[in-house]
Chains A and B, each alone.
Chain A
Amino acid sequence: MTRNIQSLERAAAMLRLLAGGERRLGLSDIASALGLAKGTAHGILRTLQQEGFVEQDPASGRYQLGAELLRLGNSYLDVHELRARALVWTDDLARSSGESVYLGVLHKRGVLVVHHVFRPDDSRQVLEVGAMHPLHSTALGKVLSAYDPVAHSEVAEGELEAFTGRTVTDPEDFERVLELTRARGWAADVEETWEGVASVAAPVHDRRRMPVGAVAVTGAVERVCEGGELRQHLVAAVRDCARSVSRDLGAGRF
């Protein structure tokens, strides 16, 4: 058995010491309670402070638990919050691209559509909010699998079903698709899920850079692609939209 990491054990002991009731402790209290040299205790406290797990009261210099600990237990972003933040940007993406726009999140073993903006051509369309799409063949699913480790493990455990002749079904090939997605920051689906339909997607991150969802433009392959390639202005528009939503969620610049 490998040895435990001593500084992590000490950090955990400090957090326990500060937890429970309204407790603020000075450096020497903490050091003596745990039997540490002041310098050692201070180094650990400073690291915890940088991570937001501990805060120092500016007036007294005493330490208390930080707000980040509370957020840890409550870190899940509400999908309806995500939709509310994305509304303006996805409307504009639909308008500028002339195609329909989807916002998807990981749910169980697939992509849950949480927002859908119609293609702006006045044709009869049905709202697809609540629909589930596959992870391994759609652009939304590939983005989620590339960036979210939970999505990745879901897709790795499942079978890669062939929906069309173009669906990638070999696990090694699929891993290469995900690597490419991470390298260029977007994913595509050219008739891999539905015949005649192509899609481009990019990731949405929250303020901690966690991948919380993906935005996609979807349309007829003839309009989304040109000469066998995805239209570059669509790729740029989708990435701009995803960045704008991420920024609204508090993510920094990329």
Chain B
Amino acid sequence: MTDENTFGTSSHGHGPFIAAIDQGTTSSRCIVFDNDGRIVAVDQKEHEQIFPKPGWVEHDAAEIWTNVQQVVDGAVAKAGITAADVKAIGITNQRETTLLWDRATGEPVHNALVWQDTRTDALCRELGRNVGQDRFRRETGLPLASYFAGPKIRWLLDNVEGLRERAEAGEILFGTMDSWVIWNLTGGPDGGVHVTDVTNASRTMLMNLHTLDWDEKILSSMGVPAAVLPEIRSSAEVYGTARSGSLEGVPVASALGDQQAALFGQTCFGEGEAKSTYGTGTFLLMNTGGKPVNSYNGLLTTVGYRIGDQAPVYALEGSIAVTGSLVQWMRDQMGLINSAAEIETLASSVEDNGGAYFVPAFSGLFAPYWRDDARGVIAGLTRYVTKAHIARAVLEATAWQTREIVDAMTKDSGVELTALKVDGGMTSNNLLMQTLSDVLDAPVVRPMVAETTCLGAAYAAGLAVGYWPDTEALRANWRRAAEWTPRMPADDRDREYKNWLKAVERTMGWIEDKE
């Protein structure tokens, strides 16, 4: 989707509409949706990635807010509509990225620390003390890891001169990007509302999953003053109204972390329904209904969404670090293909993997193993193996890693996966989708709108203002674009899985000296 929009010819164009803002890791986007959940207009702008040191990643929050305003104006202009045609604004955002700003001036006190930033590694180890990385897992559902916001707040308070005093005096506000965007949209220093939603709050490591409120014990262990924290609200309710720009006067009515928004956009409203988003990495979330499920298999427990004053819905989350990025590696580092799509051409030129297995543990193994001493392995090489077999092994790696996450989810939740809803760029790879269905032994389904993240934010906002009556109406909007069903004989699947697990074993213990 680039310059102008020439979508179809019919139906849409009839208002009213919902606008969704996706404040993502590399860009900010605004998409205008109609009542059928179809895209009417899109605008997008990238922002700078700031790398002050190896492992450090920052964003300029002022630039992000400027970009958000521009893409909102851009999408509204492209749609040829006005604020009067828009019923609500929904927000979705990169999760865990942490910002502190001055309540009086609205100026950030430091660049935002991006979720990928690893500067809090040592701090997390220190916070684990003798208990280890699961010290706060029972309350928060999360292991102590550098992604999450709490330790990032602590780092800023410790490292920006005079910040802790100002924070304790109530002059400083904390927020993930949802809070930053909502506060600015609703007036900023001039009466902006300081809120976050349960899904974003569940990624701070400061919220208790059972009470859905800030956990005082963890706040004091982590050294975060309560005065900086936003109020935790549901994912779908009116937080305030936009105070400027082309959507002035429109209610701001939803916030969801990006992966939870995709779960919502895929209408995974029933227990056991799951979605998997295939980008550079992959995030699989499964709806576990009204109760948080503890994971004993290396998954995260998180809030899926909460609609207004209804009961919260929880989710289990598993992530795979390297999926689409492995295809990029084949293109950029190995030079075996010219474009990401060509991996399918190369892989399709052979019938099978020729005995080769590729475990891309480039920075260790994630869920369900969590082994940082592992490194990547290509196993089973013989003279027979060609680059086409390796290409096939690359695609199979994504499928088997998904299978391992799904198995962990089944163990933790006791719920069997009936079908997997997929989205993201890699869903255009037909061979990968078929392989996925084969190794999961379950149907894999792609919906008609690829932009499920923005759609989820739009859905939640639309529910909050009565644009859509209930989740059933949203389900009715969901359309199947394609479905892959398993074709692999059970014996083959079992043998291949066993081989994959053998290859995984061979990645472990490669790094001997941890420091």
Give residues in A with beta carbon < 8 Å to B.
78-81, 83-84, 87-88, 91-97, 115-118, 120, 122, 125, 127, 129, 233, 236-237, 240-241, 243-244, 247-248
Residues 411-431 of B, flagged 1 when their CB comes within 8 A of A and 0 if not, give 000000000000001011110
- The reply to whether B38 and A120 contact each other, CB–CB distance below 8 Å, is no
A188 and B159 CA atoms in complex are apart in Å by 69
What's the minimum C-beta distance from A217 to chain B, rounded to whole angstroms? Answer: 11
Show 11 A/B contacts (Cβ-Cβ < 8 Å), sorted by A: A78-B345, A80-B344, A91-B448, A92-B39, A95-B38, A96-B11, A117-B448, A120-B481, A233-B10, A240-B8, A248-B2
Q: Are B38 and A80 in contact (CB under 8 A)?
A: no
Contact B450 A240 (CB under 8 A): no
* CB-based contact A80/B483 at 8 Å: no
Residues of B near A247 (CB, < 8 A) are 2
Residues of B within 8 Å of A97, CB to CB, are 8, 10
Bitwise, B1-14 to A at CB < 8 A (1) or not (0) is 11000111111100
The B22-56 residues at the A interface (CB cut-off 8 A) are: 36, 38-39
Indicate if the CB atoms of B341 and A84 lie closer than 8 Å: yes
> Does B467 touch A at the CB level, under 8 Å?
no
Residues of A within 8 A of B341 (CB): 78, 80-81, 83-84
**Closest chain A residue to B342 by CB distance?**
A78
* B480 on interface, CB distance cutoff 8 Å: yes
B490 contacts the other chain (Cβ, under 8 Å)? no
Q: How far is the CA of A238 from the CA of B480 in the complex (A)?
A: 20
Contact A117 B39 (CB under 8 A): no
Q: Are B450 and A237 in contact (CB under 8 A)?
A: no
| B483 x A91 contact (CB < 8 A) | no
Q: How far is the CA of A146 from the CA of B430 in the complex (A)?
A: 28
Beyond A118-B481, A233-B9, A243-B6, 7 additional contacts (C-beta under 8 Å) are A80-B343, A83-B341, A87-B450, A88-B1, A91-B450, A96-B38, A236-B9
B1 touches A95 (CB 8 A): no
Inter-chain contact B483/A125, CB cutoff 8 Å: yes
Q: Mark B329-340, 1 if CB is under 8 A from A, else 0.
A: 000000000111
Interface string of B305-318 (1 = CB under 8 A from A): 00000000000000
A137 vs B371: C-alpha distance when bound (angstroms):
58
Interface centre among B12, B39, B342, B428 (most CB of A within 10 A): B428
A95-B342 contact, Cβ under 8 Å, with A233-B10, A240-B6: no
Residue total for B at the interface (Cβ-Cβ under 8 A): 34
B483 touches A118 (CB 8 A): yes
- Say yes or no: B484 contacts A127, CB within 8 Å: yes
Q: Chain A residues near B483 (CB, 8 Å)?
A: 118, 125, 127
Rounded to whole angstroms, the CA-CA distance of A120 and B476 in the bound complex is 11
Q: Do B342 and A117 touch (CB < 8 A)?
A: no
A78-B480 Cα distance, complex, nearest whole Å: 26
Knowing A95-B448, A116-B482, A237-B9, say if A80 contacts B1 (CB, 8 Å).
no
Q: Tell me how many residue pairs across A and B have CB atoms closer than 8 Å.
A: 91
Most buried by B among A92, A96, A97: A92
Cα separation A240 to B450 with both chains bound (whole Å): 19
**Contacts from B to A (Cβ < 8 Å):** 1-2, 6-12, 36, 38-39, 338-345, 425, 427-430, 448-450, 479-484
Question: Which residue among A118, A125, A237 has the maximum number of chain B CB atoms within 10 Å of its CB?
Answer: A118
Neighbouring A residues of B6 by C-beta, 8 Å: 240, 243-244
Q: Knowing A91-B448, A96-B8, A240-B6 are in contact, say whether A84-B428 is a contact too (CB < 8 A).
A: yes
> How many Å from the CB of B351 to the closest CB on chain A?
14
Q: Which B residues lie within 8 Å of A80 (CB)?
A: 341-345, 428-430
CA distance A81 to B448 in the complex (A): 19
Give the docked Cα–Cα distance between A115 and B428 (Å): 9
Contact A95 B450 (CB under 8 A): no
- In contact, B480 and A120 (Cβ under 8 angstroms): yes
A67 to chain B, nearest CB (A): 14
Q: Is the CB of B8 within 8 A of A83?
A: no
A84-B428, A118-B480 known; A93 and B449 CB under 8 Å? Answer: no
A81-B341, A83-B341 known; A92 and B428 CB under 8 Å?
no
- Residues of chain B with a CB closer than 8 A to A115's CB: 430
Nearest-neighbor residue (CB-CB) of A114 within chain B: B430
With a CB–CB cut-off of 8 A, which chain B residues contact A118?
A: 479-483
Q: Smallest CB–CB gap between B480 and chain A, Å? A: 5
A122 & B480 in contact (Cβ 8 Å cutoff): yes
Distance A233 CA – B6 CA, assembled complex (angstroms): 14
CB distance from A134 to the nearest CB of B (A): 22
* A236 CA to B429 CA, complexed, in Å: 28
**B9-A88 in contact (CB<8A):** no
Q: Give the chain B neighbours of A125 by CB distance below 8 A.
A: 480, 483
Minimum CB–CB distance from A114 to chain B (whole Å) comes to: 8
Q: How far is the CB of A47 from chain B (nearest CB, A)?
A: 29
Is the CB–CB distance between B1 and A96 below 8 Å?
no
CB distance from B61 to the nearest CB of A (A): 30
Q: A94-B448, A120-B448, A240-B6 are in contact. Are A127 and B479 (CB under 8 A)?
A: no
> Is there contact, CB below 8 Å, between A95 and B345?
no
Instruction: A204 to B404: give the CA distance in the assembly, Å.
Output: 40
Decide: A87 and B428 in contact? CB cutoff 8 A: yes
CA–CA, A80 and B428, complex, Å: 8
Bound-complex Cα distance A97 to B345 (A) = 30
Cβ–Cβ contact B7 & A92, under 8 A: yes
Query: Is there an interface contact between A117 and B482, defined as CB atoms closer than 8 Å?
Result: yes
Tell me which of B10, B427, B481 contacts A96 (CB under 8 A): B10
Q: Provide the residues of chain A in CB contact with B38, threshold 8 Å.
A: 92, 95-96
Question: Given A83-B428, A87-B450, A240-B8, do A127 and B482 touch, yes or no (CB 8 Å)?
Answer: yes
Residues in A neighbouring B450, C-beta threshold 8 A: 87-88, 91
**Complex partner residue of B8 from A79, A92, A120, CB under 8 angstroms:** A92
A248 to chain B, nearest CB (A): 7
Residue pair A79, B345 in contact (C-beta under 8 Å): yes
Residue ID in chain A nearest B3 by CB atoms:
A247
Contacts of A243 in B (CB 8 A): 6
Residues of A within 8 Å of B338, CB to CB, are 78
Tell whether, in the assembled complex, residue B479 and residue A122 are in contact, meaning their CB atoms are under 8 Å apart. Answer: yes
Residue among A78, A79, A80, A96 having the largest count of chain B Cβ atoms under 10 Å: A80
Contact B479 A95 (CB under 8 A): yes
Residue of A nearest to B429 (CB): A80
Cβ contact within 8 Å between B430 and A129: yes
Bound-state Cα–Cα, A117 to B428, Å? 11
Residues of A within 8 A of B429 (CB): 80
What residue in chain A is nearest B12 (Cβ atoms)?
A: A96
**In the bound complex, how far is the Cα of B7 from the Cα of A243, in angstroms?**
11
